Amino acid sequence: MVGDLAGYGTVWYHRLGIANILSLAKVKVEYEVRFDSGARNCFEVEKKDRSGRKMVFNQSKMDFIIEKKT
């Protein structure tokens, strides 16, 4: 399935898929992306103008990076 993700653009989606992957190169055009490799071990993604919510992507026990709602 192909759709439009607001603020990102065209994405591919499979409802039975285990992951939906976004391109870091494309995300950083509109968002500030930080990676904390220390104790938190997460990506933080926020609008460059800091007007929207911050999204935090943590590593799961199965080594997938997943979003944790903040």
Question: How many of the other CB atoms lie within 10 Å of CB of 67?
Answer: 12
Q: Pseudo-torsion of CA 50, 12, 40, 44, nearest 10°?
A: -10
Residue range 17-37: average pLDDT?
A: 83
Comparing 52 with 28, which gets the higher pLDDT? 28
Residue 70 has pLDDT above 60, yes or no: no
28-49 tens-digit pLDDT = 888 899 999 988 888 899 988 8
Confidence of residue 69 (pLDDT cuts 50, 70, 90): low
Phi first, then psi: what are they for 60, rounded to 5°? -85, 175
Overall residue count recorded for the chain in this entry: 70
Burial of 51 (0-12, 13-18, 19+ CB in 10 A): exposed
Residue 1 has pLDDT above 60, yes or no: yes
